[in-house]
Structure 1
Amino acid sequence: MKLPSLPKLLSFNAGYVDTLGFLALSGLFTAHVTGNFVTLGATAALGLGGALSKLLALPVFCFVVFASRLACLKLQASDRSPIRPMLIVKLALLAGVAIFALYHGPFHADENVVTLVVGLALVSAMAIQNGLHRAHLSKAPPSTLMTGTTTQIMLDLADLLVSAKSEETAALKARIVKMGTAVITFALGCGLGAAGYMFAPAAAFTLPAILGAIALFASTAGAEA
């Protein structure tokens, strides 16, 4: 059985974790962290819970990206690829969340400390994924930020329709397929994350860890910088 490529697994997992986190952890975006500025404003206006996790999400994300980059550079200095070691760290975070979710049961809006710790653990895992993808898998479309990817797809479609030169057509089509696959894979992750929350709100947190384990053996062909 052939495993999906690493970029596809990362895109699916990001959509899944972001949606599941948003639904289960008082509206916290764990992968698309800048969205927490919007939900923080809504929290303040409507008196909802989870304000602290939304406030801390961006600085925690920034710190983890910075720290993981330093670790990657150290690994590279010793002639080691940082991809698998950083995926293992990410897996440890996802596995810890999964074990706690199974032990604790479904999360509730009033569990401020619990949701804070779980939410920031997921933010840290997605920060590692984002930094690793941008620095070391940059030939693949982004796994979490779909706005820029969708914009590029529309630009390429317009170019293909109106003024693409014959020698550029193949490259445009290939990029559209690659980016379209990333968007569809992310969207499928979002849908399954929502279904997981609806039907198995605690057990749903185990799938990201399972996919994180599978990612250790997935191919990076065509994605590495």
Structure 2
Amino acid sequence: MKLPSLPTILSFNGGYVDTLGFLSLSGLFTAHVTGNFVTLGATLAHGLDGAWSKLLALPMFCLVVFASRLVCLKLQSLDHSPIRPMLVVKLLLLLAVAVMALAYGPFHGDDTRITLAVGLTLVSAMAIQNGLHKAHLAKAPPSTLMTGTTTQIMLDLADILANSKPEDISAAKARVKKMGTTVATFALGCGVGALGTIYAPVIAFSLPAILAAASLFASSAGAES
């Protein structure tokens, strides 16, 4: 059986992990980290748990993206593609999350060392995914942030309706197909993440590691190394 492409797996995992973290870790966004500014405000206003993880998510995300980029540049200087090594690091981080979930889950969003460790480890894994996708899968739509992708879909649909140039319409249709698939895959990941949180709150933390392992064997269509 042929595996989905690497961008497709990343998009599904992006939606899944973000939803899983949000529902299990007091509204923590692990992939769309800037959303934590909003949830941190809500947490402080309503006296909810999870403030530390939301406060540290963006600095951790930035640090990991920065460090992983330095590693990628070093690998490229040695004429090695950084895609597979970074995917291995991401897999190890998600395996650590799965082990912590099996040992200490289910999580209830309270402020403990273990929930902080789980949250920031997930943020680190998704930081690697974001940085890798931005730098080396630039032809594929983003795998964790759908706002820009949805905006482009709407722009292209308007162009298809109003534009009379066949070559422009053809290019717009191709983008809508690619980006529409990405949004649908991300949304599917969100749905599965929600179901996992409801029906298997511990085992649900193992699926991201399984998907990360599968990504090592997937086609990196759209890679720009």
Q: TM-score range by the shorter chain?
A: over 0.9
In 1, Cα distance between equivalents of 2:68 and 2:61: 11
Match for residue 197 of structure 1? 197
Q: CA deviation at 1:164?
A: 4.3
1:37 maps to amino acid: F
TM-score, reference length from structure 1: 0.98
Quick one: percent identity of the two aligned structures?
A: 75
Q: Which structure 2 residues correspond to residues 120-139 of structure 1 after superposition, within 5 A?
A: 120-139=120-139
What CA RMSD, in Å, does the superposition of the two structures yield over aligned residues?
0.9
Which residue matches 1:102?
102
Gaps of 5+ in 2: none
Look up the SS of the partner of 1:100 in the other structure: helix
Q: Which residue of 1 aligns with 2:188?
A: 188
Offset of residue 195 of structure 1? 0.1
Aligned to 1:93: 93
- Report the 3-state secondary structure (helix = DSSP H, G, I; strand = E; otherwise coil) of the residue aligned with 1:39: helix
Residue identity opposite 1:219 in structure 2: S
CA distance in 1, matches of 2:166, 2:33: 40
User: Aligned with 2:30: secondary structure?
Assistant: coil
1:9 is matched with 9
Residue 216 of structure 1 pairs with residue 205 of structure 2 = no
For 1:141 and 1:159, the matched residues in 2 are separated by 19
Aligned letter for 2:208?
P
State the distance in 2 between where 1:107 and 1:222 align.
Answer: 37
Deviations along 1:163-221, one digit per CA (max 9) or x if unpaired, are: 14111222111100000000000000000000000000000000000000000010012
Q: Please report the TM-score for the alignment, with normalisation by the length of structure 2.
A: 0.98
> 1:174 corresponds to which residue?
174
Q: Is the 8 A contact 1:87 1:216 kept in 2?
A: yes
User: Secondary structure at the residue paired with 1:34?
Assistant: helix
Deviation at 1:222, TM superposition (A): 2.9
Q: Contact 1:7/1:223 (CA < 8 Å) preserved in 2?
A: no
Asked whether the 8 Å contact 1:24–1:197 carries over to 2, the reply is yes
Following TM superposition, by how much is the alpha carbon of 1:110 offset from its aligned partner in structure 2, in angstroms? 2.4
- Could you list the runs of 5+ residues in structure 1 that have no partner in the other structure? none
Q: 1:164 to 1:140 in 2, by over 3 A?
A: farther
Alpha-carbon distance in 1 for matches of 2:18, 2:221: 26
- Deviation (angstroms), 1:224: 2.8
Spell out, residue by residue over 1:44-101, the C-alpha distance to the aligned partner (whole angstroms, 9 max, x if none): 0100000010000001000000000000000000000000000000000001100111
Say whether the 8 Å CA contact 2:138–2:222 is kept in structure 1.
no
1:156 corresponds in structure 2 to 156
**Amino acid across the alignment from 1:190:** C
Residue 61 (structure 1) aligns with: 61
Over 6 Å off, 4+ runs: none
Equivalent residue, structure 2, for 1:50: 50
Instruction: Determine the structure 2 residue equivalent to 1:23.
Output: 23
What SS does the corresponding residue of 2:37 show, helix, strand or coil? helix
**In structure 2, what is the Cα distance between the partners aligned to 1:2 and 1:124?**
29
* Cα deviation 1:120-162 (Å, max 9, x = unaligned): 0000000000000000000000001100000000000000100
Residue 113 (structure 1) aligns with:
113
1:16/1:193 contact within 8 Å kept: yes
Q: What CA distance in whole angstroms lies between the structure 2 residues aligned with 1:109 and 1:212?
A: 25
Number of the residue aligned with 1:147: 147
* Alpha-carbon separation, structure 2, partners of 1:163 and 1:210: 44
